[in-house]
Chains A and B, each alone.
Chain A
Amino acid sequence: MNRRHSQAVGRVLKPIIGVAITAVMLSPLLWMISASLQTRTQLYEIPAHILPPTPTLANFEAVISTQIGSLGTSVVISVATAILSLIISVPAAYALAQRQFRWTGTIVLLLLITQMIPNVMTATPFYLMFSRLGLVNSYPALVLADSTYAVPFAILVLRAFFVEVPAELREAALIDGAGELGALLRVVLPVVRTGVIAVGMFCFLFAWADFVYALTLSTDGSVVPFTLSIYSFIGAQQTNWNELMAAAVLGIIPGAVLLIGAQRYIAAGLIGGAVKG
Chain B
Amino acid sequence: MLSGKTKADLGVGAEASLTPRPSAAPRPTRPRAGRGLGALRRHSILFFLLPVVLYLPFFAYPIGYNFLVSLRDYTLSSLITGEAPFVGLRNLSSVWHDPIFLTALRNTLLFTLLSITCQYVIGLAIAVFFSRPFFLSRTLRSVIILPWLVPGVVTTAAWKWMFNESNGLVNRLLMDVGLDPIGWFSTSSGAFAAVTIVNIWTGIAFTVVMLHSGLQGIPADQYEAASLDGAGAWGRFWHVTMPGLRPVTGIVIILCLIGTLKQFDIVWVLTRGGPGNATQLLSTWSYQLSFGEQAFGRGAAVGDFLFALSLLAAAVYAIWNRRTTR
Contact = CB atoms under 8 A, between A and B. Distances in A.
Interface stretch (B109-117, B188-196, B283-291): B283-291
Interface stretch (A23-31, A56-64, A189-197): A23-31
B80 to A, nearest CB: 10
Contacts of A114: 59, 63
Contact of B79 (A120, A128, A148, A251): A128
A119 B169 contact: no
B63 A48 contact: no
Interface string A170-186: 11001100011000100
Most buried by B among A215, A263, A270: A270
A211 B144 CA distance: 23
Given A48-B169, A124-B69, A205-B149, A227 B299 contact: no
B157 interface: yes
B310 A116 contact: yes
Contacts of A271: 213
Interface in A123-147: 123-129, 131-132, 144, 147
Contacts of B304: 121
Contacts of B261: 118
Interface string B248-278: 1001000000100110110011000000000
Interface in A181-224: 184, 202, 205-206, 208-212, 215-216
What is the interface of chain A mostly: helix, strand, loop, or mixed?
helix
Contacts of B23: 105
Contacts of B248: 275
Given A120-B262, A120-B286, A259 B144 contact: no
B158 interface: yes
Given A31-B158, A227-B154, A175 B33 contact: yes
A124 B296 contact: yes
Given A124-B300, A180-B48, A151 B55 contact: yes
Contacts of A144: 58
Most buried by B among A92, A210, A231: A210
Q: Which one of B19, B209, B214, B268 has the greatest number of beta carbons of chain A within 10 Å? A: B19
Given A15-B136, A121-B307, A174 B33 contact: yes
A129 to B, nearest CB: 7
Given A28-B158, A148-B59, A167 B14 contact: no
Contact of A277 (B19, B152, B296): B19
Contact of A274 (B17, B154, B162, B296): B17
B97 interface: no
A89 to B, nearest CB: 7
Contacts of B34: 171, 174
A205 B262 contact: no
A262 to B, nearest CB: 10
Interface residues of A, number: 114
Given A18-B140, A151-B55, A210-B4, A117 B161 contact: no
Interface of B: 1-11, 13-23, 26-27, 29-34, 37, 41, 44-52, 55, 58-59, 61-63, 65-66, 69, 74, 79, 82, 126, 129-130, 134-137, 140, 142-147, 149-155, 157-162, 164, 166-169, 172, 201, 204-205, 209-210, 213-214, 217, 248, 251, 258, 261-262, 264-265, 268-269, 283-284, 286-287, 290-291, 296, 299-300, 303-304, 306-307, 310-311, 314
Give me the 4 closest cross-chain CB pairs, A-B, nearest first.
A277-B19, A255-B149, A121-B303, A171-B33
27 contacts: A22-B144, A29-B147, A31-B161, A89-B52, A95-B49, A108-B22, A115-B14, A116-B307, A120-B303, A120-B306, A122-B63, A124-B299, A128-B65, A147-B55, A150-B14, A155-B52, A206-B13, A208-B151, A209-B7, A215-B268, A245-B157, A248-B154, A259-B149, A263-B142, A274-B213, A277-B20, A277-B22
Interface of A: 10-11, 14-15, 17-19, 21-22, 25-29, 31-32, 35, 43-48, 87-89, 91-92, 94-96, 98-100, 105, 108-109, 112-129, 131-132, 144, 147-153, 155-157, 163, 167, 170-171, 174-175, 179-180, 184, 202, 205-206, 208-212, 215-216, 226-227, 230-231, 233-234, 241, 244-245, 248, 251-252, 254-256, 258-259, 263, 266-267, 269-271, 273-275, 277
Given A10-B134, A43-B167, A47-B172, 15 more contacts: A32-B157, A112-B18, A115-B258, A120-B283, A120-B284, A121-B303, A121-B306, A124-B291, A127-B290, A149-B14, A206-B14, A208-B10, A211-B265, A211-B268, A248-B157
